[in-house]
Chain A
Amino acid sequence: MALTDDGAASVAAPLANAGPAVEARGLRMRYGDDDVLKGVDLTAAPGEVIVLLGPNGAGKTTTIEILEGFRMRSAGEVAVLGTDPAVGGEAWRARLGIVLQSWRDHGNWRVREMLAHFAAHYTPYATAERPRPRDVDALLEAVGLADRARAKVSSLSGGQRRRLDVAVGIVGRPELLFLDEPTAGFDPLARRDFHDLVHRLADEEGTTVLLTTHDLDEAEKLADRILILADGRIVAEGSADELARRVGTGSEVRWTRDGQRFVHAAPDGTAFVRELLEQHGDAVTGLEVRRASLEDAYMEMVARHESGRTAEAAAALEGIGR
């Protein structure tokens, strides 16, 4: 997905003195007696890609919808592009891009006419640094829908529809882009293209991206920083590497000796392997060392949380990413 339409390359990086793109302090959300968010703190620097991970019902979508100005929070301080989303006006909204979880709207319109119509909403909000909207045909090309331009929206496959939603989300050249499970239904190629697109948005246009996903591999590829949300709280925060190093069991070592398969969990895999080879030498075959992955870290975090040791887990993770 190339974004080589006019103006894209000349888009200036965000000003060095600009404040954070998103800043939330003590965000709370309560429906009746049910606390969905119990004090979420979240900061995103301009141009940063942040991935929100967490089990279903953890509050990811609620968090995003509060930041988008679609929901009123119960308590807490929020500034999105310097404005409280509860009172953000149309000019503020023009600086955001939003891709929601499921959209089935405008099914009987054609792909290009829909994108072009939405694009025109942004015309009055163009600035020198951010020409708005993006060129519609170049964008269709970029998301791989150029050959479906005249197709009815309802005739698109699930993955194509999702790519159209992403195109609508970025047609206004947003400074901040929200993506709620954007790659659901993508085939592997479309997924890789999408990851490429997100990197370009962040690198070339300084777009801040806030994304939720259930795909840990995707989180690892995209995120500058990962936040793990569980039961309305952020229970861990850091890069994929940092999270993996911090949680889990270190490394898992597998080998074969005398026709027998061994598995051993070692806090320091390298030291363990050195010792193993010194002891048994050539007798060891089929050696595998697997460092704890983001998946291990995630599973561990959620498991700890679900067994009621949230506080302990959070304490163990404190300081990560600083």
Chain B
Amino acid sequence: MNRTAHLLRQGWASGGLALMASLRSVQEMLGTVAFVAAFCVGLSFMRGRAVEGTSVDAATAALPGVLGLSVVFTGVVATAMVLATEREDGTLLRAKALPDGITVYLIGKIVYAAALVLTTVALLVLPGLFLFDGLAAGLARGWPLLLGVLLLGMVATIPFGAVLGSLFNNPRLVNAVGAVPIFALTGISGIFFPITALPEWLQWIAQAFPVYWVGLGLRSAVLPDSMLSAEIGESWRHLETMGALGAWAVLGLALAPWLLRRTARRVSGANVEEARQKAMQRV
């Protein structure tokens, strides 16, 4: 049997099974549905009003920001949480005990995170097509770009979720220390209001991170050029977007497998038992 094919098939199965398990979990489903519903409702309030100086529906203009947030949130925070949890409950150790287990685990995680992002995006975009003016027209032209940016955005963010997850050994800590900067970063990255409204030094900080570029890329895919006045340099800056996200992807992909293997090497049965005891004391 072809080894690579075997690994890919097993990784794919691993991600698929994890996804199915999530879909069966009422708690996790409710979380996703609540996230999607909250934004759909929020966006519907903006519906029917045009963005100042343009004929673009305000809801349509805001949608790329929400998509960007879900990419970043799933890619970084959710991945980090899952890793920190699975390091504690023995999932990572299980992967170590199986032949090719770590490789299968990694592929499985990428498949899982990608499926999660695409599901959320589909849940947001599908109702939007009927509800929000101009979205259908924008997507008819921009969908390949949308998919491309989503994909690149995931490759740029998931490894950082993995890095974050391997730095913290406590899932609760990930939430506290990891999620806060991500939200802060999201706030300044032009996802909810135009980045050009911010002081210039904040704009530079935002542009150093992938969140801004994911948002920009998604806006460029969905929105007409009449929205350009809100962007830095009044340009969609496609090349810069690809460059910035590509650089983050390369950096993450170089760092993540190494860090993960190092983390996996250090996890042992005694750690897992210790974590179990601690978790029980907390309850």
Binding site for B on A (CB under 8 A): 61-62, 65, 68, 70-71, 90-91, 93-94, 96, 98, 100-110, 113-114, 117-118, 120-125, 168, 172, 180
Bound CA span A105–B89, Å? 5
Residues of A within 8 A of B272 (CB): 100-104
Bound CA span A105–B87, Å? 9
A-B contact pairs, 16 of them (CB 8 A): A65-B268, A65-B270, A68-B97, A70-B93, A98-B97, A100-B93, A102-B90, A103-B94, A106-B91, A109-B18, A110-B21, A118-B94, A120-B10, A123-B1, A124-B3, A124-B99
* A61 in complex: contacting residue of B14, B90, B99, B269, CB < 8 Å: B269
Chain B nearest CB, measured from A167 CB (Å): 13
- The interface bits of chain B over 171-187 (1 if a CB of A lies within 8 angstroms of the residue's CB, else 0) are 00000000000000000
Which 10 pairs show the lowest CB-CB distances between chains A and B?
A94-B99, A105-B91, A100-B269, A108-B21, A98-B97, A105-B90, A90-B99, A104-B89, A103-B90, A121-B98
B17 beta carbon closer than 8 Å to chain A: yes
Bound CA span A62–B268, Å? 9
Binding site for A on B (CB under 8 A): 1, 3, 6, 10, 13-14, 17-18, 21-22, 24-25, 86, 89-91, 93-94, 96-101, 104, 268-270, 272-273, 276
Q: Taking A102-B273, A103-B93 as given, write out 17 further A-B residue pairs in contact, using a Cβ cutoff of 8 Å, ordered by the A residue number.
A: A61-B269, A70-B96, A93-B97, A96-B97, A103-B94, A106-B21, A108-B21, A108-B25, A109-B17, A110-B21, A117-B10, A118-B94, A120-B13, A121-B98, A121-B99, A121-B101, A125-B99
Bound CA span A93–B268, Å? 16
Chain B nearest CB, measured from A185 CB (Å): 13
Bound CA span A169–B270, Å? 18
Whether A101 lies near B21 (C-beta < 8 A) is no
Whether B98 lies near A124 (C-beta < 8 A) is no
Whether A101 lies near B273 (C-beta < 8 A) is yes
Chain B nearest CB, measured from A189 CB (Å): 26
Nearest-CB residue, chain A, relative to B104: A121
Whether B276 lies near A104 (C-beta < 8 A) is yes
Residues of A within 8 A of B273 (CB): 101-102
Chain A nearest CB, measured from B90 CB (Å): 4
Residues of A within 8 A of B91 (CB): 105-106
Bound CA span A314–B6, Å? 51
Chain B nearest CB, measured from A181 CB (Å): 10
Residues of B within 8 A of A180 (CB): 269
Residues of A within 8 A of B3 (CB): 124
* A104 in complex: contacting residue of B17, B21, B90, B270, CB < 8 Å: B90
Chain B nearest CB, measured from A80 CB (Å): 14
Residues of A within 8 A of B24 (CB): 108
Bound CA span A98–B104, Å? 18
Nearest-CB residue, chain A, relative to B88: A104
* A122 in complex: contacting residue of B21, B25, B99, CB < 8 Å: B99
Residues of A within 8 A of B97 (CB): 68, 93, 96, 98, 100
Bound CA span A196–B272, Å? 29
Chain A nearest CB, measured from B106 CB (Å): 14
Bound CA span A160–B235, Å? 61
Bound CA span A116–B110, Å? 21
Chain A nearest CB, measured from B272 CB (Å): 6
Bound CA span A96–B97, Å? 8
Whether B94 lies near A106 (C-beta < 8 A) is yes
Bound CA span A101–B269, Å? 6
Bound CA span A110–B18, Å? 10
Chain B nearest CB, measured from A41 CB (Å): 22
Whether B10 lies near A113 (C-beta < 8 A) is no
Most buried by A among B1, B21, B89, B269: B269
Whether B94 lies near A105 (C-beta < 8 A) is yes
Bound CA span A114–B90, Å? 14
Bound CA span A96–B17, Å? 25
Whether A90 lies near B276 (C-beta < 8 A) is no
Nearest-CB residue, chain B, relative to A132: B99
Residues of A within 8 A of B22 (CB): 108
Residues of A within 8 A of B269 (CB): 61, 65, 70, 100-102, 180
Whether B21 lies near A105 (C-beta < 8 A) is no
Whether A71 lies near B25 (C-beta < 8 A) is no
Whether A117 lies near B14 (C-beta < 8 A) is yes
Nearest-CB residue, chain B, relative to A110: B21
Bound CA span A109–B17, Å? 7
Bound CA span A70–B22, Å? 29
Nearest-CB residue, chain A, relative to B94: A105
Nearest-CB residue, chain B, relative to A114: B17
Residues of B within 8 A of A168 (CB): 94
Nearest-CB residue, chain B, relative to A65: B268
Residues of A within 8 A of B10 (CB): 117, 120-121
Residues of B within 8 A of A109 (CB): 17-18, 21
Bound CA span A113–B21, Å? 10
Bound CA span A73–B14, Å? 32
Chain B nearest CB, measured from A36 CB (Å): 10
Residues of B within 8 A of A121 (CB): 10, 98-101, 104
* A93 in complex: contacting residue of B6, B18, B98, CB < 8 Å: B98
Residues of A within 8 A of B276 (CB): 102, 104
Bound CA span A309–B22, Å? 56
Most buried by A among B3, B86, B272: B272
Most buried by A among B6, B13, B100, B276: B100
